[in-house]
Amino acid sequence: MRCLGIAVVVILVILLIAAFIIFVLPQIAPGKVSADLSAVTSDVERLDGRTSSAAPVAAGAHVKMYEGDGVNVSSSGYARLDLGGCLLQIFRNSGLQVQGLPGESAAVCIVDFEQGTIYNRVSKKTIVNTEWAVITTLSTAFFVHLDRARGVLWVIVKEGSVEIVAQGERIVVQAGQQAWVFRGQPPQPPQPATRQIAGERFPPIDDLTSGVIADGALLAAAPAQQRIILTVTANTDEVVSGACAGAQTLQITARVQPPAGIKQVTVTYGWRGVREQTAIMRQIETQTFVAEIGPFKYAGQPAALNYTVSVHGDAQKPLASESRTARLAACPPVIR
C-alpha cells in the first residue's frame, strides 16, 4: 500500500509539472518574445491565439501579446500595440492578428490586418497582410484603412515609402502620396496625398480615428488655384467679306498672367447660323498668344461675329476665358 501511495504521489507531481510546462511556463519564460498591448480606452479585447478566447482589456491597462494572438477594437475603442520597433495605433472597428515578432520566429514585424484603421510608425521591416494585398515597409510612418464591405484598401504614406503588391503587380508609394487597392484588382497608381484627390471615396480621417488624427495631418488641402489674368485685344471690331474696304481677318492677341501651368490657349468663334470653330492660339512670348481667323466667306446682312478666348490647364474646365464680339459685314451689302 505504501508503494502504491508513493506511486500516486509521483504521478500527481508529474502531472503538475507537465501542466506548469504547458500552460504557465510559456507565459513567464524570460526568453519568450512578447508585444505590449495597451488600451487607451475601453472596448478593447485581447484574443488568445492558443485558446481562441477573448478577454477585455481595461482602459489604461497593458497586457502581453504573443505570436498568434489578436486584437479587436470596437466602435468606441482605441489601442496601441508595440511589437518592438513597430508601433501600431489601432482605431475603432478594427481587428488584427500578430504573426511575427522581431527575435521570435521572424526578424520582422508581421500582422494580419482584417478590418478597420491603423496608423503605423516603424523602425524595422514590417509586413501588413490583408485579404487582397500585402504592404511591406521599412522605417516609415503610414496609415492603412481596410473596408471589407466595400472591398477597398487605402494607404497614405507620411514618411519613408511602402510597397504594395496585389494581383502580381507592385507599386511603391512615397512620402506625401496615397494609393488604394480594390479587391481582386492590382493597385491603383500612387497619387498626391490630398483630400481633393481622395474626394468622397474615403471618410474623413478624423472620423476613422475618432479625432486622434486630423484629416489635414495626412492629406493636404487642395492647393489654392492661381487667379489667371487674361487680357484680350484685337486689330479691329469689324471684319469684312468680299469687296468691302477694311480688315478681312481678325487678329487676336491674348496675354496671360501668370503663365505657369498653362497647357494651351484657344479661340472659339462663329456667328448665328454657322457652326462654331476652335483654333489653338500660337505662343510668341512667355505670356503672349496670337491667332488670326478669317477671311470669311460671308454674304449676308451684317452679323455679330462672336469669339471666346480660353486658357486651359490640366483640368477640363478652362482656367479663364473672355468673350468678345466683332461686326461681320459683306460687300456688296445685302439689301432686303
pLDDT bucket at 93, cuts 50 / 70 / 90: very high
Last residue of a domain, one of 190, 218, 246: 218
Which of the two residues, 206 and 243, has the higher pLDDT score? 206
Spatial CB neighbours of 153, under 8 Å, sequence gap ≥ 6: 130, 132, 133, 144, 145, 146, 147, 180, 181, 182
Residue 109 belongs to domain spanning: 33-218
Which of the two residues, 63 and 313, has the higher pLDDT score? 63
pLDDT bucket at 34, cuts 50 / 70 / 90: confident
Do 214 and 75 lie in one domain? The reply is: yes
Which of the two residues, 33 and 238, has the higher pLDDT score? 238
Backbone φ, ψ for residue 323 (5° rounding) = -105, 145
Do 182 and 246 lie in one domain? The reply is: no
Q: How many domains does the chain have?
A: 2
Instruction: Say if residues 220 and 194 touch (Cβ distance below 8 Å).
Output: yes
Lowest-confidence pick of 12-16, 40-44, 108-112, 158-162: 12-16
Last residue of a domain, one of 173, 194, 218: 218
Is residue 9 a part of any domain in this protein?
A: no
Spatial CB neighbours of 175, under 8 Å, sequence gap ≥ 6: 140, 157, 158, 159, 160, 161
Average pLDDT over residues 236-263: 88
Do 108 and 142 lie in one domain? The reply is: yes
pLDDT bucket at 87, cuts 50 / 70 / 90: very high
Is residue 19 a part of any domain in this protein?
A: no
pLDDT bucket at 29, cuts 50 / 70 / 90: very low
Instruction: Say if residues 269 and 277 touch (Cβ distance below 8 Å).
Output: yes
Do 196 and 241 lie in one domain? The reply is: no
Instruction: Say if residues 264 and 246 touch (Cβ distance below 8 Å).
Output: no
What pLDDT is stored for residue 308 in this prediction? 96
What pLDDT is stored for residue 168 in this prediction? 95
Is residue 315 a part of any domain in this protein?
A: yes
Average pLDDT, the chain: 88
